[in-house]
Amino acid sequence: MKLLMFFCPKFHSIPYERVLSLAEEKAHEVDVKDAVVIFYQLEQRDEQQRKKILNKALKNIKWLAGKFNTKKVVLHSFNHLSTSKASPEFAIEFVKDLVARLENTEYYVLETPFGWLNGWTMSVAGESLAKVFKDL
């Protein structure tokens, strides 16, 4: 799993085009302030180490959110971080679990529509830790 993480004073996402047949037919905009925005890509190898990757993802997301004293998280599938891709079915189920685990610890989680191309407007804070890449 690859994570490209930002602390964004402002983030807005607009669905553009559905590109995956199993994606929901209708998509929604996301608009949030002071959130950790996670661009993620699940890889083929993650399917064999699901629990380990889930725990590492949670740890990294919570760590960055804690650095900026926020409980807001945006998850955005971004399949440009690796040449290896997990199956869409695996990714959907994995992210459902990730969202549930974050929400169970009082995080407010938003997702951009999976299987859609999205346009987005974002501002990223200037601090060094406002931009973090992790290869789990």
Q: Could you report the per-residue pLDDT of 18-55, keeping only the tens digit for each?
A: 999 888 999 999 999 999 999 999 999 999 999 999 99
Question: What mean pLDDT, rounded, does the chain reach?
Answer: 96
Tracing tokens 């190898």 back to the chain, one arrives at 45
Whether residue 83 is predicted with pLDDT greater than 90 in this model: the reply is: no
Residues 6+ apart with CB under 8 A from 82: 2, 41, 43
3-state secondary structure of 56: helix
Residue 97 C-beta-side C-alpha neighbours within 13 Å: 13
CB 42 within 8 A of CB 3: no
| HSE value, Cβ hemisphere, 13 Å, CA-based, for 99 | 13
Q: Read off the pLDDT of residues 67-76 as tens digits, 9 standing for 90 and up.
A: 999 999 999 9
Inter-residue contact 34 to 72 (CB < 8 Å): yes
Query: For residue 10, what pLDDT is reported?
Result: 98
Q: How would residue 16 be classed by pLDDT, with cut points 50, 70 and 90?
A: very high
Determine whether 39 is exposed, middle or buried from the number of CB atoms within 10 Å of its CB (0-12, 13-18, 19+): buried
CATH number of 2-135: 3.50.80.10
In this prediction, residue 82 carries a pLDDT of: 87
